[in-house]
Amino acid sequence: MGIQVSLGSMTISEKEFHLMRSLIYERFGINLSEKKRTFIVSRLQKLLRAEGYESFRQYYDSIIADKSGKALAELANFISTNYTFFNRERAHFDYFVNTALPVIVQRLRRQKSNDIRIWCAGCSSGEEPYMLAMLLLEYFSERYVSWNAGILATDISSHALSLAKSGVYTDEQVNLVPEVLRKKYFIHQSGDQWAVKECVKKEVTFRHFNLMNRTFPFRQSFHIIFCRNVMIYFDAPTREKLIYRFFKQTAQDGYLFIGHSESLPRDRCPYCYIKPAVYQRTGSLQKVIK
Protein backbone atom coordinates (compact mmCIF):
# COMPACT_ATOMS: atom_id res chain seq x y z
CA MET A 1 0.00 0.00 0.00
CA GLY A 2 1.39 3.44 -0.99
CA ILE A 3 1.36 6.44 1.31
CA GLN A 4 -1.78 8.53 1.06
CA VAL A 5 -2.20 12.13 2.13
CA SER A 6 -5.67 13.26 2.97
CA LEU A 7 -6.92 16.73 3.82
CA GLY A 8 -10.62 16.84 4.64
CA SER A 9 -12.16 14.38 2.23
CA MET A 10 -9.58 14.68 -0.62
CA THR A 11 -6.87 12.05 -0.75
CA ILE A 12 -3.83 11.73 -3.02
CA SER A 13 -2.20 8.35 -3.55
CA GLU A 14 1.51 7.93 -4.17
CA LYS A 15 0.89 7.24 -7.86
CA GLU A 16 -1.35 10.29 -8.23
CA PHE A 17 1.20 12.47 -6.46
CA HIS A 18 3.92 11.35 -8.86
CA LEU A 19 1.72 11.99 -11.88
CA MET A 20 0.82 15.49 -10.70
CA ARG A 21 4.38 16.26 -9.66
CA SER A 22 5.80 15.18 -13.06
CA LEU A 23 3.18 17.16 -14.93
CA ILE A 24 3.92 20.33 -12.92
CA TYR A 25 7.66 19.85 -13.43
CA GLU A 26 7.45 19.15 -17.16
CA ARG A 27 5.03 21.91 -18.01
CA PHE A 28 5.98 24.69 -15.59
CA GLY A 29 9.49 23.77 -14.44
CA ILE A 30 8.26 23.92 -10.84
CA ASN A 31 10.06 21.25 -8.88
CA LEU A 32 8.01 19.94 -5.96
CA SER A 33 9.95 17.74 -3.59
CA GLU A 34 8.71 14.47 -2.17
CA LYS A 35 7.59 16.44 0.87
CA LYS A 36 5.09 18.52 -1.10
CA ARG A 37 2.16 16.11 -1.09
CA THR A 38 0.20 18.17 1.40
CA PHE A 39 1.00 21.28 -0.63
CA ILE A 40 -0.60 19.76 -3.75
CA VAL A 41 -3.66 18.59 -1.85
CA SER A 42 -4.15 21.87 -0.01
CA ARG A 43 -3.72 23.96 -3.17
CA LEU A 44 -5.97 21.82 -5.37
CA GLN A 45 -8.67 20.22 -3.25
CA LYS A 46 -11.01 23.21 -3.48
CA LEU A 47 -10.73 23.20 -7.26
CA LEU A 48 -11.30 19.44 -7.48
CA ARG A 49 -14.37 19.64 -5.29
CA ALA A 50 -15.79 22.69 -7.08
CA GLU A 51 -15.41 20.99 -10.46
CA GLY A 52 -16.74 17.66 -9.27
CA TYR A 53 -13.63 15.49 -9.63
CA GLU A 54 -13.69 12.39 -7.48
CA SER A 55 -9.95 11.78 -7.50
CA PHE A 56 -6.64 13.33 -8.48
CA ARG A 57 -6.35 10.69 -11.18
CA GLN A 58 -9.58 11.86 -12.75
CA TYR A 59 -8.36 15.45 -12.56
CA TYR A 60 -4.98 14.53 -14.06
CA ASP A 61 -6.62 12.66 -16.96
CA SER A 62 -8.85 15.63 -17.72
CA ILE A 63 -5.85 17.99 -17.92
CA ILE A 64 -4.06 15.63 -20.30
CA ALA A 65 -7.20 15.26 -22.44
CA ASP A 66 -7.81 19.00 -22.65
CA LYS A 67 -6.11 20.18 -25.83
CA SER A 68 -7.19 23.81 -25.37
CA GLY A 69 -4.60 24.33 -22.63
CA LYS A 70 -7.24 25.87 -20.35
CA ALA A 71 -7.01 23.16 -17.70
CA LEU A 72 -3.25 23.50 -17.59
CA ALA A 73 -3.51 27.29 -17.27
CA GLU A 74 -5.90 26.83 -14.38
CA LEU A 75 -3.49 24.42 -12.72
CA ALA A 76 -0.76 27.09 -13.04
CA ASN A 77 -3.00 29.54 -11.19
CA PHE A 78 -3.35 27.16 -8.26
CA ILE A 79 0.21 25.85 -8.14
CA SER A 80 2.28 28.99 -8.67
CA THR A 81 3.39 31.02 -5.67
CA ASN A 82 2.78 34.67 -6.47
CA TYR A 83 4.21 36.26 -3.34
CA THR A 84 5.65 39.69 -4.16
CA PHE A 85 5.65 43.26 -2.87
CA PHE A 86 6.61 46.76 -3.97
CA ASN A 87 10.27 47.70 -3.64
CA ARG A 88 11.30 44.10 -2.92
CA GLU A 89 15.09 43.77 -2.70
CA ARG A 90 15.51 47.52 -2.97
CA ALA A 91 19.24 47.40 -3.74
CA HIS A 92 18.34 46.13 -7.22
CA PHE A 93 16.22 49.16 -7.96
CA ASP A 94 19.07 51.42 -6.83
CA TYR A 95 21.45 49.56 -9.11
CA PHE A 96 18.95 49.73 -11.95
CA VAL A 97 18.77 53.54 -11.69
CA ASN A 98 22.34 54.37 -10.74
CA THR A 99 24.29 51.91 -12.87
CA ALA A 100 22.36 49.72 -15.30
CA LEU A 101 20.30 52.45 -16.96
CA PRO A 102 23.25 54.88 -17.38
CA VAL A 103 25.37 52.08 -18.92
CA ILE A 104 22.59 51.11 -21.33
CA VAL A 105 21.77 54.71 -22.23
CA GLN A 106 25.43 55.46 -22.96
CA ARG A 107 25.67 52.41 -25.19
CA LEU A 108 22.46 53.27 -27.03
CA ARG A 109 23.62 56.85 -27.59
CA ARG A 110 26.77 55.52 -29.25
CA GLN A 111 24.60 53.32 -31.44
CA LYS A 112 22.25 56.23 -32.15
CA SER A 113 19.34 54.16 -30.90
CA ASN A 114 16.55 55.22 -28.58
CA ASP A 115 15.01 51.79 -27.93
CA ILE A 116 15.24 50.49 -24.36
CA ARG A 117 13.76 47.06 -23.83
CA ILE A 118 13.13 45.72 -20.34
CA TRP A 119 11.60 42.34 -19.50
CA CYS A 120 10.20 41.45 -16.13
CA ALA A 121 9.87 37.64 -16.28
CA GLY A 122 7.69 36.18 -13.53
CA CYS A 123 6.07 39.55 -12.73
CA SER A 124 3.27 38.12 -10.57
CA SER A 125 0.67 40.77 -9.62
CA GLY A 126 2.63 43.68 -11.11
CA GLU A 127 4.45 45.33 -8.20
CA GLU A 128 7.89 44.71 -9.72
CA PRO A 129 7.23 45.98 -13.27
CA TYR A 130 5.33 49.00 -11.96
CA MET A 131 8.32 49.86 -9.73
CA LEU A 132 10.56 49.66 -12.81
CA ALA A 133 8.18 51.83 -14.84
CA MET A 134 8.02 54.51 -12.14
CA LEU A 135 11.82 54.53 -11.90
CA LEU A 136 12.16 54.76 -15.68
CA LEU A 137 9.84 57.76 -15.75
CA GLU A 138 11.78 59.40 -12.93
CA TYR A 139 15.14 58.68 -14.52
CA PHE A 140 14.31 60.22 -17.87
CA SER A 141 11.84 62.79 -16.61
CA GLU A 142 10.83 65.13 -19.49
CA ARG A 143 13.38 63.40 -21.79
CA TYR A 144 11.27 60.24 -21.57
CA VAL A 145 9.24 61.15 -24.67
CA SER A 146 12.35 61.00 -26.82
CA TRP A 147 12.97 57.38 -25.77
CA ASN A 148 11.14 54.36 -27.00
CA ALA A 149 11.13 52.55 -23.67
CA GLY A 150 8.76 50.25 -21.87
CA ILE A 151 8.48 47.06 -19.92
CA LEU A 152 7.28 43.66 -21.00
CA ALA A 153 5.95 41.85 -17.93
CA THR A 154 5.15 38.13 -18.21
CA ASP A 155 3.91 35.38 -15.96
CA ILE A 156 2.42 31.92 -16.12
CA SER A 157 -0.43 32.77 -13.78
CA SER A 158 -3.38 34.41 -15.52
CA HIS A 159 -4.85 35.14 -12.09
CA ALA A 160 -1.75 37.15 -11.05
CA LEU A 161 -1.72 38.87 -14.45
CA SER A 162 -5.30 40.04 -14.11
CA LEU A 163 -4.47 41.61 -10.72
CA ALA A 164 -1.42 43.20 -12.33
CA LYS A 165 -3.44 44.61 -15.22
CA SER A 166 -6.00 46.13 -12.86
CA GLY A 167 -3.14 47.94 -11.07
CA VAL A 168 -5.12 48.40 -7.86
CA TYR A 169 -3.43 47.82 -4.51
CA THR A 170 -4.27 48.27 -0.85
CA ASP A 171 -2.88 50.90 1.54
CA GLU A 172 -0.65 48.28 3.07
CA GLN A 173 0.85 47.28 -0.29
CA VAL A 174 1.32 50.80 -1.56
CA ASN A 175 2.95 51.95 1.71
CA LEU A 176 6.07 50.04 0.65
CA VAL A 177 6.55 52.34 -2.34
CA PRO A 178 8.98 55.22 -1.59
CA GLU A 179 6.92 58.25 -0.64
CA VAL A 180 7.96 60.43 -3.55
CA LEU A 181 6.85 57.78 -6.07
CA ARG A 182 3.71 56.92 -4.13
CA LYS A 183 2.52 60.52 -4.11
CA LYS A 184 3.26 61.04 -7.77
CA TYR A 185 2.11 57.79 -9.37
CA PHE A 186 -0.86 56.47 -7.36
CA ILE A 187 -4.36 57.76 -7.15
CA HIS A 188 -6.67 57.07 -4.23
CA GLN A 189 -9.84 55.24 -5.12
CA SER A 190 -12.22 54.25 -2.36
CA GLY A 191 -11.55 52.77 1.08
CA ASP A 192 -8.01 51.45 1.24
CA GLN A 193 -7.64 51.06 -2.54
CA TRP A 194 -5.00 52.83 -4.61
CA ALA A 195 -4.67 52.68 -8.39
CA VAL A 196 -1.47 52.99 -10.39
CA LYS A 197 -1.81 56.06 -12.61
CA GLU A 198 -2.35 55.61 -16.32
CA CYS A 199 1.01 57.25 -17.16
CA VAL A 200 2.71 54.29 -15.43
CA LYS A 201 0.29 51.60 -16.58
CA LYS A 202 0.77 52.44 -20.22
CA GLU A 203 4.49 51.75 -19.92
CA VAL A 204 3.93 48.11 -18.94
CA THR A 205 2.66 45.41 -21.29
CA PHE A 206 1.44 42.29 -19.47
CA ARG A 207 1.51 38.95 -21.27
CA HIS A 208 0.94 35.32 -20.38
CA PHE A 209 4.20 33.49 -21.02
CA ASN A 210 5.64 30.21 -19.77
CA LEU A 211 9.40 30.36 -19.23
CA MET A 212 9.55 26.64 -20.04
CA ASN A 213 8.75 27.38 -23.69
CA ARG A 214 11.73 26.05 -25.62
CA THR A 215 12.02 29.10 -27.77
CA PHE A 216 11.40 32.66 -26.79
CA PRO A 217 9.25 34.44 -29.36
CA PHE A 218 10.93 37.85 -29.01
CA ARG A 219 12.42 39.32 -32.15
CA GLN A 220 14.68 41.73 -30.31
CA SER A 221 16.93 41.35 -27.35
CA PHE A 222 16.42 43.00 -23.97
CA HIS A 223 18.75 45.47 -22.29
CA ILE A 224 17.55 44.52 -18.85
CA ILE A 225 15.89 41.33 -17.63
CA PHE A 226 14.47 40.97 -14.15
CA CYS A 227 13.69 37.36 -13.22
CA ARG A 228 13.66 37.44 -9.46
CA ASN A 229 12.38 34.80 -7.09
CA VAL A 230 11.16 32.63 -9.94
CA MET A 231 14.04 30.20 -10.42
CA ILE A 232 13.91 29.22 -6.73
CA TYR A 233 11.08 26.92 -7.77
CA PHE A 234 13.18 25.25 -10.50
CA ASP A 235 15.89 22.60 -10.17
CA ALA A 236 19.50 23.15 -11.30
CA PRO A 237 19.20 21.68 -14.86
CA THR A 238 16.04 23.73 -15.53
CA ARG A 239 17.71 26.90 -14.22
CA GLU A 240 20.76 26.31 -16.34
CA LYS A 241 18.76 25.87 -19.56
CA LEU A 242 16.73 28.96 -18.78
CA ILE A 243 19.84 31.04 -18.12
CA TYR A 244 21.14 30.22 -21.61
CA ARG A 245 17.82 31.21 -23.14
CA PHE A 246 17.91 34.48 -21.18
CA PHE A 247 21.49 35.04 -22.28
CA LYS A 248 20.59 34.66 -25.97
CA GLN A 249 17.85 37.19 -25.38
CA THR A 250 20.10 39.75 -23.64
CA ALA A 251 21.66 42.64 -25.59
CA GLN A 252 25.42 43.15 -25.39
CA ASP A 253 26.22 44.87 -22.04
CA GLY A 254 22.67 44.10 -20.91
CA TYR A 255 21.83 42.95 -17.38
CA LEU A 256 20.10 40.04 -15.70
CA PHE A 257 18.76 40.52 -12.17
CA ILE A 258 17.81 37.44 -10.17
CA GLY A 259 16.55 37.10 -6.59
CA HIS A 260 18.98 37.61 -3.72
CA SER A 261 18.44 34.08 -2.47
CA GLU A 262 19.28 32.69 -5.93
CA SER A 263 22.67 32.22 -7.54
CA LEU A 264 24.08 31.00 -10.85
CA PRO A 265 26.91 28.46 -11.01
CA ARG A 266 29.98 30.60 -11.80
CA ASP A 267 31.73 27.92 -13.88
CA ARG A 268 28.72 27.34 -16.12
CA CYS A 269 27.28 30.82 -16.33
CA PRO A 270 27.46 32.71 -19.63
CA TYR A 271 26.96 36.05 -17.88
CA CYS A 272 29.63 38.01 -16.08
CA TYR A 273 28.99 38.22 -12.33
CA ILE A 274 28.74 41.86 -11.23
CA LYS A 275 27.48 41.68 -7.66
CA PRO A 276 25.12 39.41 -5.72
CA ALA A 277 22.16 38.62 -7.95
CA VAL A 278 23.27 41.01 -10.74
CA TYR A 279 24.84 39.69 -13.97
CA GLN A 280 25.89 41.32 -17.23
CA ARG A 281 26.30 40.00 -20.73
CA THR A 282 29.82 40.91 -21.70
CA GLY A 283 30.72 38.11 -24.12
CA SER A 284 29.15 36.34 -27.03
CA LEU A 285 27.24 33.08 -26.81
CA GLN A 286 29.73 31.21 -29.03
CA LYS A 287 32.42 31.75 -26.42
CA VAL A 288 30.50 30.05 -23.67
CA ILE A 289 28.79 27.14 -25.40
CA LYS A 290 31.02 24.12 -25.15
Residue (42 or 81) nearer to ligand SAM, CB: 81
Residue (80 or 280) nearer to ligand SAM, CB: 80
Least CB distance from residue 255 to ligand SAM, whole Å? Answer: 15
Strand-pairing partners, residue 30, are none
* Residue 20: CB atoms within 10 Å: 24
Residue (45 or 124) nearer to ligand SAM, CB: 124
Kindly state the helix (H) or strand (E) to which residue 38 belongs, with its residue range: helix 37-50
Least CB distance from residue 142 to ligand SAM, whole Å? Answer: 30
Closest CA to 73 of 10, 12, 164, 160: 160
Measured distance between the N- and C-terminal CA atoms of the chain, rounded to whole angstroms: 47
Catalog residues that contact ligand SAM under the rule CB under 6 A: 28-30, 80-84, 88, 122, 124, 128, 155-157, 160, 210-212, 228-230, 233, 259
Residue (156 or 278) nearer to ligand SAM, CB: 156
* Residue 64: CB atoms within 10 Å: 12
Least CB distance from residue 1 to ligand SAM, whole Å? Answer: 34
Amino acid at 76: A
Least CB distance from residue 168 to ligand SAM, whole Å? Answer: 17
Asked if 29 and 233 count as a contact pair (C-beta separation under 8 A), the reply is yes
Least CB distance from residue 209 to ligand SAM, whole Å? Answer: 6
For the chain, how big is the Rg over CA atoms in Å?
21
Residue (124 or 250) nearer to ligand SAM, CB: 124
Residue (33 or 83) nearer to ligand SAM, CB: 83
Least CB distance from residue 28 to ligand SAM, whole Å? Answer: 4
Kindly state the helix (H) or strand (E) to which residue 165 belongs, with its residue range: helix 158-166
